[in-house]
Amino acid sequence: MAERLLIKALHGGKNTKIITLNGKKMKKMPSTLERLPGLKILDLQNNLIPKVCPEISSLTQLTALNLGNNLLEEVPEEMKYLTTLKKLHLFGNKICRFAPGACDGLQNLILLNLNKNQLTWLPQEVSRLKRLKYLSINHNQLASIPRELCFLGNLSELQLNYNNLICIPREIGLLKKLQKLFLVRNDIETLPEEICELKKLRILDIAGNLIQIFPSGFQNLKLREFYSEGNPLFLKQPIIAAYKEDDVWSLQEITLRFIMHQLAEENPLLMHVLEWYPEVRNKISQEKICAVCEKPFLTPWLECVEFVPPPKSWKISRNLQLVPLRTFTCCHKCFIHRGRNLFAIAQA
């Protein structure tokens, strides 16, 4: 059956644009592919193919390749020849690695589907897929993602559901075009502050993780849909922490607070002098803002949680009545004068 379809395709020669050999129990790719240089779409899903044949390098016009549900063990090196490829489906294989160089030629790839494989890590080379818009790696065993993934400036949708991720890199903030982020069923404990920089993000799904609290500024995201069920989110109830009532600061903290207050008032002398002290500028760049007095400081007096209502424009899961945000207070006096929605986080 497969042979008959292939013979027909071969008659077409250069004019054959599409070949579909879906579910034909094929154990290898047909090497006769090299006689079809005009091929644009090659669909070989649901077969028993363990390897890609070298002849694939002659398909210089191929835009879509579907090798889903086969027996591949790696993202094949031969992919590097497919410089015109836009869509690559490799779901449902046994892929546990990228062959060296596999990403080198895929500079036009827009969609990559690696769902249901056995990947535990991704190579830094994924950053070479410069045009990639849709990346889907659901149902794998990824323990981390490389920061280089965040250099894919065109990425609009990232699906990492059902993996073993414990965190996502701070560089996530670089994905300026990201609109949809799916992180369902991982082991993520905290989201980096930089997630608040994703101005285009509209759908965020973090269901089934270990998140208790969100970074401050999270409530300003312009989300349309936000799903957070199955997380041990802080609930609004007084959390009493043991704390010291007297404020004893290091000399460094006192000095830096003084400098930061002066800078906030645009003290010209200090602004000028600071140009000569990069290490002080570096310190100051890590400043936090007190949730009560809104003044800057470096060493928090107490870590707190503030509960805010989710924005009305968000479609949310039912478990989320109030969004718990990580905030800080700068001193005992501010903590005493905190609002009704602010609580200290008890240290276990």
Which residues of the chain form contacts with Zn ion (CB under 5 A)? 290, 292-293, 330, 334
In the complex with Zn ion, the residue whose CB is nearer, 214 or 328, is 328
CB-based contacts of 12, cutoff 8 Å, min separation 6: 36
C-alpha to C-alpha distance for 322 and 104, rounded to whole angstroms: 46
CB of 133 to Zn ion, least distance (A): 44
In the complex with Zn ion, the residue whose CB is nearer, 181 or 330, is 330
In the complex with Zn ion, the residue whose CB is nearer, 102 or 334, is 334
Cβ atoms within 10 Å of 336's Cβ, excluding its own: 10
107, 85 contact by CB (below 8 A): no
In the complex with Zn ion, the residue whose CB is nearer, 258 or 277, is 258
Q: How far is C-alpha 262 from the geometric centre of its chain's CA atoms?
A: 38
CB of 223 to Zn ion, least distance (A): 29
346, two tokens: 């008890």
Name the CA dihedral angle for 37, 43, 44, 45, rounded to a multiple of 10 degrees.
160
CB of 236 to Zn ion, least distance (A): 22
Residue 297 backbone zone (phi > 0: left; psi -120 to 50: alpha; other: beta): beta
CB of 149 to Zn ion, least distance (A): 38
In the complex with Zn ion, the residue whose CB is nearer, 207 or 302, is 302
In the complex with Zn ion, the residue whose CB is nearer, 122 or 290, is 290
82, 62 contact by CB (below 8 A): yes
Question: Three-state DSSP class for 28?
Answer: coil
CB of 289 to Zn ion, least distance (A): 9
In the complex with Zn ion, the residue whose CB is nearer, 271 or 336, is 336
In the complex with Zn ion, the residue whose CB is nearer, 64 or 293, is 293
CB of 250 to Zn ion, least distance (A): 17
C-alpha to C-alpha distance for 41 and 59, rounded to whole angstroms: 10
* Residue located via tokens 């395709």: 9
C-alpha to C-alpha distance for 325 and 332, rounded to whole angstroms: 20
CB of 291 to Zn ion, least distance (A): 8
Q: How far is C-alpha 2 from the geometric centre of its chain's CA atoms?
A: 40
CB of 276 to Zn ion, least distance (A): 29
CB-based contacts of 188, cutoff 8 Å, min separation 6: 165, 166, 167, 168, 206, 209, 210, 211
